[in-house]
Amino acid sequence: MASICIDEKKCIGCSLCVRDCPNHCLYLENNKAHVLPSGCIACGHCYAICPALAVQMTAYPIQDTPTVSMSSLDSQVMLAAMRSRRTIRHFTQEKVSQEAIHSILEAGRYAPTGGNRQNVAFTLLGSKQQEAEAICVKLFRTAKRFGSPFVPFLKQVDITDDFFFKGAPLVIVISSSSEVNGSLAAAYMEIMAESLGLGVLYSGFFSVCCAVSRKLKKLLHLPKGNKVVTAIIIGHPAVKYQRIVPRKPAQATTL
């Protein structure tokens, strides 16, 4: 079944949807849009562009789609926020509100995915956070004891009980069968969290543990075919940074 259908009574034959469909699944006949039986990836371009609300998206149970109000996002404000973003490794005890969690998940849900597969899952560790961290701590302490072959820097660090999650109140594990899709979702979520005044740490160390620990894999209970792409540790920052740090020049080339 196609993921969209056209309400012919509403269709005004403007052909905007036909021109905008990335997979050329729509055509105009008798001044009405029609859908071809295959090729639709349910991306929603036709739904979003239709001025007459003639497109229905049958692919999704959720129809929570308000009209786009022109964003007041200022590019310079955005750039300043991105440049001043820092990884946060010290958090207060304050919980992250449910509204904030919802916004962060929405940001992840609306990140682009190749082929519009929407194949990214978000696992909030919740009541299992301590247990997950304990597994990781044990693993890293063992690795350290055996000469840290896979993480040389372990030699010089103290693997404290809160080494992985830094006492933050929220850990979201992002998993997918696509690293790119999962990473994009994570970046969207991070920016959303920042805009809410929260601090974020990507935990590569946690991802390492997920890749090697069967116990952790079992605990996470990920959707079939998914691998942990990253985990974002979120909380209210207990540090404030004063300035933007230098970076390498952009490796940008025009061919």
Residues that bind ligand FMN (CB under 6 A): 86-87, 89, 201-205, 230
Q: Give me the least distance between CB of 56 and ligand FMN, in Å please.
A: 39
Q: Give me the least distance between CB of 235 and ligand FMN, in Å please.
A: 14
Place of tokens 């926020």: 81
Q: Which is nearer to ligand FMN, 34 or 227 (CB)?
A: 227
Q: Which is nearer to ligand FMN, 41 or 231 (CB)?
A: 231
Q: Give me the least distance between CB of 129 and ligand FMN, in Å please.
A: 16
| Strand pairing category for 55-57 and 4-6 | antiparallel
Q: Which is nearer to ligand FMN, 57 or 233 (CB)?
A: 233
Q: Which is nearer to ligand FMN, 118 or 230 (CB)?
A: 230
Place of tokens 């940001």: 107
| 3-state secondary structure labels for all residues of 55-124 | EEECCCCCCCCCCCCCCCCCHHHHHHHHHHCCCCCCECCCCCCHHHHHHHHHHHHCCCCHHHCCCEEEEE
Question: Closest-CB residue for ligand FMN?
Answer: 204
Q: Give me the least distance between CB of 94 and ligand FMN, in Å please.
A: 21
Place of tokens 């859908």: 35
The residues, ordered by sequence, that sit 6+ positions from 8 with a Cβ below 8 Å of its Cβ are 32, 54
